[in-house]
Amino acid sequence: MEKSTDLDRTDRKILKVLQSDGRITNTELADRVHLSPTATAERMKRLMRDGYIDHFSAHLAPNKVGRGLLVFVEVKLERTLPEIFDAFRIAVERAPDILECHMVAGGFDYLIKSRVADMEAYRRFLSDVVLALPGVRETHTYAVMEEIKETHVLPI
């Protein structure tokens, strides 16, 4: 785990502001962190170059784009061999309907996150995508009834 010891208070302020408003202008950001626009732009370049900022993107409203149902799927593999892990990873990376996939320790091997239109779309996703992944033995699905908290903002 990398430590963020190279970040000073101003860097942390910049990152905090950008996490909540990635479209802020450099001038507005400079005002918020009490630096000149030039100094702010230089810090931004360094933070991006050093990998503190992965990318910028728009956060879409899932309901507006026909992806209102959030599901999590536990996946157990038939065998846990390196070649099965590799084939599974490659297939997951190629599946656009899989938003996140995490190898986990515990009673199953992977946790998949997806957003689909509705339960009918989920059934198609399960049969056409999840069960078609290499090495899948068993799945358990959790359809989300209410989203209590969802954020990408990291505490800094």
The domain that holds 82 is classified in CATH as 3.30.70.920
Do the Cβ atoms of 72 and 144 come closer than 8 Å? yes
DSSP one-letter string for 28-69: HHHHHHTS-HHHHHHHHHHHHHTTS---------GGGGT--E
Whether residue 68 sits in one domain with residue 31: no
Instruction: Give the whole-number percent of the chain exceeding pLDDT 70.
Output: 97
Please compute the mean of the pLDDT values over residues 84-99 and round it to a whole number: 98
Please compute the mean of the pLDDT values over residues 65-70 and round it to a whole number: 98
Range of the domain at 128: 62-143
Say whether pLDDT at 139 is over 80: yes
Q: Does the model's pTM come out above 0.75?
A: yes
What SS3 class is residue 140? Answer: strand
Provide CB contacts within 8 A for 27, sequence distance 6+. 37
Q: For position 5, what pLDDT does the model report?
A: 61
Q: Which residues pair with 142 in a beta bridge?
A: 72
Residue carrying the six token digits 């996140």: 100
- State how far the Cα of 95 lies from the Cα of 97, in Å rounded to an integer: 6
Say whether pLDDT at 152 is over 80: yes
Whether residue 38 sits in one domain with residue 91: no
pLDDT tens digits, 44-55: 999 999 999 999
Q: For position 1, what pLDDT does the model report?
A: 47
- State how far the Cα of 17 lies from the Cα of 6, in Å rounded to an integer: 18
Whether residue 119 sits in one domain with residue 87: yes
In a domain, 22, yes or no: yes
What SS3 class is residue 89? Answer: helix
In a domain, 3, yes or no: no
In a domain, 90, yes or no: yes
In a domain, 135, yes or no: yes
Whether residue 38 sits in one domain with residue 72: no
DSSP state, 6?
A: T
Give the confidence band of 6 by pLDDT, cuts at 50, 70, 90: confident
Say whether pLDDT at 98 is over 70: yes
| Number of structural domains the chain divides into | 2
Give the confidence band of 2 by pLDDT, cuts at 50, 70, 90: low
Whether residue 88 sits in one domain with residue 120: yes
